[in-house]
Chains A and B, each alone.
Chain A
Amino acid sequence: MKSNHPWWKPDGLLIYAILYLVFIYLPVLFLPLFSFNNSTYITFPLKDFTLKWYAKMINSPGLLEALFNSIKVGLLVAIFSTILGLLAAKSVTRYRFKGRGPLVSFIMIPLVIPEIILAISLLILISQANIPLSLWTIGFSHLLLCIPFSMLILISRMEGFDKSLEEAALDLGENPWMTFWRVTFPIVLPGIVASLLLTFTISFDEFVLAFFLSSTDATLPIYIWSSLRFPTKIPAILALGASIFVISFFVVTFAEWVRRRGVKLESTSGI
């Protein structure tokens, strides 16, 4: 798009867009800024440049443990919620059955229930059933929360592609399983990537459910929350935040690359 507006005379929309981006990213940029600042207190003016908070981050076992707990839970939740979401999306978009509409709304309900209500009810249920609280209970609750998101993403992707593509694969001699792998999966792949990313992110920074359903194993949000009482721990958390920010940037870029590659051609040479 070409604008004949000179850049030194910006219009209102451009100013709005710049303000918007500043509003989103300025606070986030404070994280790396202060993580290199040689002071325990997060306040201007800045002091010397230092990497000691990063060293401290690597040498604090509690923080790393919480980080790995979150990654473990997040990966499992992302994978299972995407698999279950994919199966549900396939059945909802490909088959007509009684009670299809109500069923979908029912699965979507966790989207609108306040998390704190969900957390309390799950806690009551789990303690009544005498199931010990652990990372597993957190993961289970996150799965509950994430499946609707996976379904929403994958239903829209499945509805967007033509049913006759799958019929054509069957017609050309492939069984339903190979039809899924050779046609459905590659076409739905961008949706799968999106679902994995979104559900991992939701689980990774989820606080309320994890807070209610955790025992001694903390996830990262819980660790950060409990660290806020100790000001000396905060700069290491800033270092961690900055690292996560950089890593997510690369992950999203990679995912986008996969997505674009997914829609490109499959060559014949593989056959």
Chain B
Amino acid sequence: MSRDAIISFQDVSKSFGKVKAVDGVNFEINRGEFFSLLGPSGCGKTTLLRMVAGFEMPDSGEVFIDGQPMSAIPPNQRPVNMVFQNYAIFPHMDVRGNISFGMRKSGLSKVELNRRIDEILELIKLQGFGKRGADELSGGQRQRVALARALIKQPKVLLLDEPLGALDKKLREQMQIELRLLQQQLGITFLFVTHDQEEALTLSDRIAVMSEGHVKEIASPAQLYENPGSRFVADFIGSMNFFKGEVVDSNKKHLRITSDTIGDIVVPESDTKYNVKYPVWIAIRPEKLQPVFSEPDDLSHVMEGQMGPSAYLGDRSHFYVHLAKREEPVLVALQNLDRSNDLLRKPNQRVWLKWSIEAVVVLPRD
């Protein structure tokens, strides 16, 4: 275990009946990090979080917090605190009652405790709300109280279980920024569970992408988006066009790949070593395809097709392009840089999609 690790999962598995919720998970979370567990529902991310909190026990393996094995330690004695998905604000207490709930055994004098509560109310911008009851708070305010109630305990790790899921989009974006600032200000490790990939990208230092009880990949947001390690991760984070290809030649520096749909390409050799004949995916993000509506002079790194259905999304537009040799249309995303969107009004128009070799990600296909 590295010295920087505040949480360490070692061979952790957990089943519910016949379902393996978490299957042999091994990784570490560093001190002071904003770490997200990202995956579709049922991927085991919440189970993993609840194991750190102590509400679930691993069937095998061990969770370490700050170097200490946790299996014999009940939830009320662990140095972590949690913000619940529905906030779990105590309905029979006011805001101050909720925030001071965990401080009964803190040994602080009443004056000192009140000072702390005032401090934390200021931190979460709820000054003057101390006497409000739980039912007099909006969703965003409840979320802040849940945050304050956990933070006043000064946990080694703050656990957040999809805390922004119930808020509307505007408020959610605002809370994302506040959460990130708060984490940087306090320097506490945040372990954040979400199924919203955009949220994970916005907030995290590192993200663990999970699927069916396994951790597929752990990396920084930019790394995951621009250089994903598998088709699952590439597909789950953002949108991606995949083209079937096969390695025809590989030397130390370059990889030559042939593909029915986009022709032969040469890409720099990546960390993964590919043998000749190896089946691969050639992956290109929709925003990295540039549409032009007259035939370009240079036809290398160009796909030709016909405009299909399109969608106007305000800041950008999405449209599908049908290629001659490919059943599945290609998704293209275009920033709406000026106010005209005429190109979207011409279905069946011929279109050429230009791309650069730096935009291509090569992934193993099996």
B90 & A173 in contact (Cβ 8 Å cutoff): no
Answer yes or no: A169 CB below 8 A from chain B CBs: yes
A261 CB, nearest partner CB in chain B, Å: 10
**Chain A: minimal CB distance from B273 (Å):** 47
Q: How many A-B residue pairs have CB under 8 A?
A: 91
A67 part of interface (Cβ distance < 8 Å): no
* CB–CB A263/B75 < 8 A: no
Q: Which positions 85-132 of chain B face chain A at CB distance < 8 Å? A: 85-86, 88, 90-94, 96-97, 100-105, 110, 113, 117, 130
Q: Is the CB of B75 within 8 A of A170?
A: yes
Q: Complex Cα distance A171/B150, Å?
A: 9
User: Is the CB of A264 closer than 8 A to any CB of chain B?
Assistant: yes
Task: Collect the chain A residues with CB atoms within 8 Å of residue B92's CB.
Answer: 186-187, 262-266
Query: For residue A266, which residues in chain B have a CB less than 8 angstroms away from its CB?
Result: 90, 92-94, 97
Closest chain B residue, CB of each to CB of A262: B92
Q: Which residues of chain A have C-beta atoms less than 8 A from B110's C-beta?
A: 271
Q: How far, in angstroms, from A140 to B96 measured CA to CA in the complex?
A: 46
Query: Which residues in chain A, 162-178, are within 8 Å of chain B measured between CB atoms?
Result: 162, 164-165, 167-175, 178
Check B133–A171 contact: CB distance below 8 A: no
Interface status of A130 (Cβ within 8 A of chain B): no
B53 close to A (CB within 8 Å) = yes
Is there an interface contact between B103 and A271, defined as CB atoms closer than 8 Å? yes
When the two chains form the complex, which single residue of B82, B90, B94, B105 contacts A267, counting CB atoms closer than 8 Å?
Answer: B94
Determine whether B172 belongs to the interface, using a CB cutoff of 8 Å to chain A. Answer: no
Structural contact, A172 and B153, CB atoms closer than 8 A: yes
Given A172-B149, A265-B133, A271-B104, is A164 in contact with B88 using a C-beta cutoff of 8 Å? yes
Q: How far is the CB of B223 from chain A (nearest CB, A)?
A: 32
A186 neighbours in B (Cβ, 8 Å): 92
Contacts A164-B88, A174-B102, A268-B93 aside, 8 further interface pairs with beta carbons under 8 A come to: A167-B53, A167-B82, A169-B90, A171-B80, A172-B153, A173-B104, A175-B74, A271-B100
Count of chain B residues with a beta carbon within 8 Å of a chain A beta carbon: 35
Q: Which DSSP category, helix, strand, loop or mixed, fits chain A's interface?
A: helix
Chain A 199-216 interface residues, beta-carbon cutoff 8 Å to B: none
Interface residues of B in 57-97 (CB under 8 A from A): 74-77, 80-82, 84-86, 88, 90-94, 96-97
Q: Is A244 at the interface (CB under 8 A from chain B)? A: no
Task: State whether A173 touches B76 (Cβ < 8 A).
Answer: yes
> Any chain B CB within 8 A of the CB of A252?
no
Residues from chain A with Cβ under 8 Å of B88 in the complex: 162, 164-165, 167-168
Asked if A94 CB lies within 8 Å of chain B CBs, one says no
27 contacts between A and B (CB under 8 A): A162-B86, A164-B84, A164-B86, A165-B91, A167-B53, A168-B90, A169-B90, A169-B101, A170-B74, A171-B81, A172-B81, A172-B150, A175-B74, A186-B92, A187-B92, A263-B91, A264-B92, A264-B133, A265-B133, A266-B90, A266-B92, A267-B96, A267-B97, A268-B93, A268-B94, A268-B97, A271-B97
